[in-house]
Structure 1
Amino acid sequence: MQVKTTKLPNVESCFKQLIASPSISALEPELDMSNQGVIALLNDWFGDLGFRCSIEQVQDSRGKHNFVATIGQGTGGLLLAGHTDTVPFDEQGWVQDPFQLTEKDNLWYGLGTCDMKGFFALVLAAVRELPLNDIKHPLYILASADEETTMNGAKAFAEQKSIAPDYAIIGEPTSLKPVYMHKGHLTQGIRIIGRSGHSSDPAKGLNAIEVMHQVITELMRLKQDLAANYREDAFTVPYPTMNFGHVHGGDAANRICGCCDLHLDIRPLPGLPLVDLEMMVSNYLEPIATQYPGCIQISQLYPGSEAFADSTDNPWTQLVSELSGHQAEVVNYATEAPYIKKLGCQTLVLGPGSIEQAHQPNEYLDTKFIQPTVTLLKQLIHHACFK
């Protein structure tokens, strides 16, 4: 295998080019962007290093793609995974151009520096320093589409089961602390369709706010039951949470409310699949739905994400903890980890930068993470792919 390195840019140049290639994911079509530019850069760079590269379109993604680079033969090995997309940005909140890498006080500003296009630049920096001709087990790089919205990229890749690595690292910003477990996320919209009318004769209408009061009462019972029956003490909030984030109904004090909406957020623990949680909501509201046929509509506000759990006892977690100098921990935000784990690999979330910078105006990566990340990645690749 002949490795070509003449074309490869340095770390800062990789960051600059990745940040300069907008790849926003949004549910709103007018904000949503292609990830083609990022994919093209990764395809060129990893191809120049001798990786076998493939690009596949992701269904239900407005024409976006996953990118996979592979080097080495045989079984097992390591998957380094990340997403190509960023969240939208508030132009008024940014001091710098979000699509131009700006350095100030040892901080690299730009949309995606931390969350998380910059991770790929550091992976590239790590692998270019390794003797890739001597690799014994495959090294895979996955750059997925639409993590910030549907996670359809990771879901599609997991369903294909085209690779079977022993280990996986997902490079989300964790301050280089390994994460072995996180909660999931489900958001539902509940709409009550009543019958409007004049408030002077309530019997001629059906007040959607009053029905919603019954719905919330039942959901409060579910909230209490979830807290009583599901527990994981590793989390600071050790039970599934439920939040009533939005409620709106009616248009005038003298008019019977004909429609009322509630937006619901539930964060399940590992071991509580989203499909089971959705069924629980439906079952708790079934008596009200029977009393008022056709009155209750339950919808998904946007695609949910499953909870994730690996183990602190497996060899991979122990090795990564030792090399990183941090014990594995849990977090409350969601990642692609539950889908990557479906490949059958021991899976951890670990990457440079702080989650406090994710989804924030003037996002930055502290440059103090750059060399430690490259060093740690080289160590992990050595253990998984060269031994």
Structure 2
Amino acid sequence: MDTLSNTKKLLGELIAFPTISSNSNLDMIHHLALYLSNAKAEVEIWQDTTGSKANLFATIGPNVDGGIVLSGHSDVVPVADQDWTTDPFEMVERDEKLFGRGSCDMKGFIASVVAMAPQYALLDLKRPIHFAFTYDEEVGCFGAKALAESLRQYGIQPAVAIIGEPTSMRIIEGHKGCYEYTTQFTGFEGHGSSPEKGVNAVEYAAQYVNHLLELKSELRTRAPAQSRFDPPWTTINTGSLIGGVAHNVIPGKARVDWEMRPVQRSDADYVKDSLNRLCTHTLIPAMQAISPEANIITEVIGEVDGLEPVAQNEAREILRELTGAKEADVAPFGTEAGIFQDLGMTAVVCGPGSIDQAHKPDEYVSLDQISQCLEMLEGLCDRLT
């Protein structure tokens, strides 16, 4: 069976695993482990604390630093309330396209790299090729963060990471981060006729949001001089402000859901430090002067670092050589690439399929895109030897 046919077969098998983020991914991970073990890869499966999720990390080649990582996430988004014309967990081939949930985001890439494993195993590799398949990317990149800790723990130090998110095989060398928070305000309830006797959680939440708006404006002035993002600065969005129970009751609870999309980590640190000073030195002392139990607590929903474009990027240069592309772009969507970059690797995002198909009903990846991906992966053989 040729590599394209094997990729199609494997993709059909992977789509059949309903690895929605709320479900376990273990069956799919063990299925991939069997494929890679048969290709003589050294396979590690690292489970999360619940035992229901796992990362897979496999290696073909010498046990040395400086390897190349091919990475993808195993989880997919839900299909509930989507109008599919076929079973989303049964691959359908039609009009030179492969339909199914996760076909482009991102099981098409995973199937491609695993189908290439037997070819890599036949090479006299001078640097290792690593396969990294993670859990829970769609809900906060939790698997990739755990994988990073495992790599640190075991002293594994690859040099290059290629994350196969759907980019239509364009090279993406940068994207913003995504930091999401919920800030809870605990005040002190009372009768609306005596507001000075209570701690109005909604009013303190409003002051917090006002500071977010000030920071939002200020961040425009911090945009890097040559920023290629659209917009070029770090953004802040206030998603919701919820609190109170009635017109005449001083609200004792309020909640602000908000996010920022930093173009550089220093912006994220700046925002968090400024908000911490506001709460610690101004808001909380004023609240606790009336009620010692009053407080403000921020819960981190997710902090996913962006991929910062850098001048020296071996991953980018490898893919330029393999794909023939002269340019590398930046993208508006987030990936796990920044986590690999934080480990000291050069990283790019490049994979088959279009992001325009991701998360939608009748998601698909074209056979042409899969073929382009396999051609790139075959070209990687020279880099490994």
What are structure 1's unaligned runs of at least 5 residues?
26-31
Give the match's secondary structure for 1:209: helix
2:77 to 82, 87, 109: 87
Q: Which amino acid aligns with 1:364?
A: Y
Q: 1:186 to 1:375 in 2, by over 3 A?
A: same
Task: Give how far 1:124 is off.
Answer: 2.7
What are structure 2's unaligned runs of at least 5 residues?
none
Cα shift readout 1:141-178 (whole Å, capped 9, x = no counterpart): 11112222242322222223342223220111111111
Matched, 1:248 2:242: yes
- Percent sequence identity over aligned pairs: 34
What is aligned with 1:269? 263
Whole-Å separation in 2 of the counterparts to 1:261 and 1:124: 45
Give yes or no for contact 2:183–2:257 (8 Å, CA) kept in 1.
yes
| Residues 1-387 of structure 1 aligned to structure 2 (within 5 Å) | 10-25=6-21, 32-59=22-49, 62-73=51-62, 74-129=64-119, 132-159=122-149, 160-161=151-152, 162-231=155-224, 233-272=227-266, 277-286=271-280, 287-293=282-288, 294-300=293-299, 302-324=301-323, 325=325, 327-379=327-379, 381-386=380-385
Q: Which moved more, 1:342-351 or 1:266-275?
A: 266-275
Give yes or no for contact 1:116–1:172 (8 Å, CA) kept in 2.
yes
Give yes or no for contact 1:310–1:348 (8 Å, CA) kept in 2.
no
Question: Structure 2 length as normaliser, TM-score?
Answer: 0.88
Cα shift readout 1:170-212 (whole Å, capped 9, x = no counterpart): 1111111111111111111122223333333433433333222
Whole-Å separation in 1 of the counterparts to 2:146 and 2:196: 51
Whole-Å separation in 2 of the counterparts to 1:251 and 1:236: 40
Whole-Å separation in 1 of the counterparts to 2:118 and 2:81: 36
Q: Which amino acid aligns with 2:307?
A: F
Count of aligned pairs between the two proteins: 374
Give yes or no for contact 1:83–1:146 (8 Å, CA) kept in 2.
yes
Give the match's secondary structure for 1:260: strand
Give the match's secondary structure for 1:304: strand
Whole-Å separation in 2 of the counterparts to 1:279 and 1:182: 23
Whole-Å separation in 2 of the counterparts to 1:277 and 1:153: 26
Task: Give how far 1:374 is off.
Answer: 0.3
Cα shift readout 1:245-298 (whole Å, capped 9, x = no counterpart): 111222322333332221111111223275664333212333122211254423
Whole-Å separation in 1 of the counterparts to 2:277 and 2:219: 14
Give yes or no for contact 2:176–2:334 (8 Å, CA) kept in 1.
yes
Q: Which amino acid aligns with 2:256?
A: L
Q: Which amino acid aligns with 2:285?
A: T
Cα shift readout 1:331-361 (whole Å, capped 9, x = no counterpart): 2222111222244322111111111222223
Give the match's secondary structure for 1:181: strand
Task: Give how far 1:329 is off.
Answer: 1.2
Q: Alignment RMSD, CA only?
A: 2.6
Task: Give how far 1:131 is off.
Answer: 7.0
Whole-Å separation in 2 of the counterparts to 1:55 and 1:273: 35
Q: 1:248 to 1:271 in 2, by over 3 A?
A: closer
Q: Which amino acid aligns with 2:175?
A: H
Question: Structure 1 length as normaliser, TM-score?
Answer: 0.88
Whole-Å separation in 2 of the counterparts to 1:290 and 1:370: 59
Whole-Å separation in 1 of the counterparts to 2:277 and 2:128: 47
Give yes or no for contact 1:167–1:384 (8 Å, CA) kept in 2.
no
Task: Give how far 1:117 is off.
Answer: 1.8
Runs of 4+, deviation exceeding 6 Å:
none
Q: 1:48 to 1:201 in 2, by over 3 A?
A: same
Whole-Å separation in 1 of the counterparts to 2:94 and 2:245: 50
Give yes or no for contact 1:173–1:350 (8 Å, CA) kept in 2.
yes
Give yes or no for contact 2:180–2:260 (8 Å, CA) kept in 1.
yes
Give yes or no for contact 1:192–1:261 (8 Å, CA) kept in 2.
yes
Whole-Å separation in 1 of the counterparts to 2:54 and 2:259: 29
Q: Which moved more, 1:282-291 or 1:235-244?
A: 282-291
